[in-house]
Structure 1
C-alpha cells in the first residue's frame, strides 16, 4: 500500500499541470496568510475572496469580457501579420546574402528597442487607431521570431536541400516543403517568445495609449481600475491576463508542439 501511494505521488508530481496547480495553491495560501496578518491595508492588499467577487461582478456585467475580446482581436491580428513577415524575412535572408545583411542590420537596431519607446512616433504616424497598437505587437513579434526561424533554416543539413534540388523543386517549394517543416521546432520556440513579448506589448500599450477607436482592452480596464482605486479590480484584470497567457501556451502552442515536433521526434 505504501509503495503504491508513493508511486501515485511520484506520478502525480511528474505531471507538469499537477506541479503547477500545487504551486498555485501554495501561492494562494501565502497570499491569504499575508492578508490575515493585517500588516497591509486592504486597499493595497485585498483578500483573494474580494478579488474573486470583483472579477465575478465584472464578468457578470460583461465589461471585462468585452475588453478581453478586444485585446485578443488586436493581439491575434498583430501575431498573424508578424508571423508572415518573419517567415518572409527569414526565407529571403536564407537565399540572399544581400537581404541577410539587411535583416541582420534591422534586427540589430530594432530587436533591443521596446515597442513602447516607439509609441509617440506611432501616434504621430497612425493617430489614435487600433492599428497603432497592432503595429507595436508586430514589432514585438517579428524580430525574435525571424531570428529563431533563420537559425532553424541554418541548422538544416545540406543533404535535405540537395535532395530537393535532385527533385527539381523550385525555391518556393524548397521553403514550403523542406525548410519550414525541418525548422519547425525553432519556429515553435520563437513563437513562445513572440507570444509573451506581444502580450506584454499589448497590455503596456493599452495602459499608456488608452482606448482606441472608442474601445479599450484589458490594459485600459486595469488603467481605469487604478484611477478609481479599485485594487480588487486591478488584480482581477491581472489574473485574466495571466490565465489567457497560460491558456494559449498550453492549449495552442504546446498542443501544436505535441502533434508536430514531438510526434515527428524533432523536439529540441
Structure 2
C-alpha cells in the first residue's frame, strides 16, 4: 500500500532534483529555465504581497463557474437527447456541427462581443467544457444495457423511478469520464483566455512577468496551472470512488 502511494511521486521528484542540480552546476542556464529554488523564492515573494493568492483565487473562480455553466448545460442536453429520440433528431446534428469548430478559434470574435471582461473567459470555458460532458452523458444514456431496462419493467419501475434507479446509475461511469475530460479542457481554455484577454488571474500574472523578463514568475504560473489541473483531476477521481462504489472496476 505504501509503495502504491510513493510510486507516482518518484518521477516528479527525480526530475526536480535533476533540474536543480543541472542549474547549480551550470548545465542549464537560468536564462533558459530558472532553477526550482528561484521559482520557490518568487512564489514566496508573491505570496507575501498577496498577489499570488488573489490571482489563483480569480482563476479558480473562473474555472469553477465556467465549468458549472458549460457542464450543466451539456449534462442537461445529454440527458434529454439520450432519452428522447425527437430531441435527438432536433438538436444533436446542430450540436455536432458546432462541436467541430475549435472553441479557442472563436477567441477574437468573443473579445469583440464581450471585451476582456469576465464574460469572455466564462463563455470560452463554458463552451470548452460543454461538449465532453454532453457527449459522454449522451453516450452513457444510449449505452445502457437493454436487459436492465427489461428487468426494471418486470419490477414495475417506470418514469422517474426507472431513470433514477437504472438508467442514470448505468450511465454514470461514462458521465464521470466526461467530467474528468472537461476539467482538463477547462484549464487549457483558461490559460489561453487569460494570457490574451485578462487584467487579473494566473495568465495575466504570467504575461505581466513576461513584459519585465521575470522568467521565474512565468514558470511559476505554468506550474500553478499544472497543480490546479492535477488537483481538479484528483477531486474527480475521489468523486468516481464515492459515486461508483457499486461498480466492479472500483471495488478492491
CA 1:266–1:87 in structure 2 vs 1: closer, same or farther (change >3 Å)? farther
Shift of 1:64: 1.2
How does the TM-score come out when normalised to structure 2? 0.89
- Root mean square deviation, CA, Å: 2.2
Q: Distance in 1 between matches of 2:125 and 2:7?
A: 32
Residues 171-229 of structure 1, C-alpha deviations (whole Å, 9 max, x = no match): x5544443222211111111111000011101110101122xxxx11111111111111
Instruction: Please list every run of 5 or more consecutive structure 1 residues that lacks an aligned counterpart in the other structure.
Output: 1-10
Shift of 1:122: 1.5
Aligned to 2:240: 257
Report if the CA contact (8 A) 1:225-1:233 is conserved.
Answer: yes
Pair 1:206 & 2:188 matched: no
How does the TM-score come out when normalised to structure 1? 0.84
The structure 1 residue matched to 2:148, chosen from 151, 154, 160, is: 160
CA 1:178–1:40 in structure 2 vs 1: closer, same or farther (change >3 Å)? same
The structure 2 residue matched to 1:65, chosen from 53, 60, 75, is: 53
Q: Distance in 2 between matches of 1:149 and 1:50?
A: 45
Pair 1:245 & 2:233 matched: no
Q: What is the aligned length?
A: 249
Shift of 1:58: 0.8
Residues 60-93 of structure 1, C-alpha deviations (whole Å, 9 max, x = no match): 1110110111111111111111222122211221
Q: Distance in 2 between matches of 1:99 and 1:86?
A: 14
CA 1:221–1:266 in structure 2 vs 1: closer, same or farther (change >3 Å)? farther
Q: Distance in 1 between matches of 2:166 and 2:128?
A: 27
Residues 71-127 of structure 1, C-alpha deviations (whole Å, 9 max, x = no match): 111111111112221222112212333432444323432334332211122222223
Pair 1:227 & 2:216 matched: no
> What secondary structure is seen at the aligned counterpart in 1 of 2:31?
coil
Aligned to 2:26: 38
Shift of 1:236: 1.3
Report if the CA contact (8 A) 1:78-1:134 is conserved.
Answer: yes
Shift of 1:12: 3.9
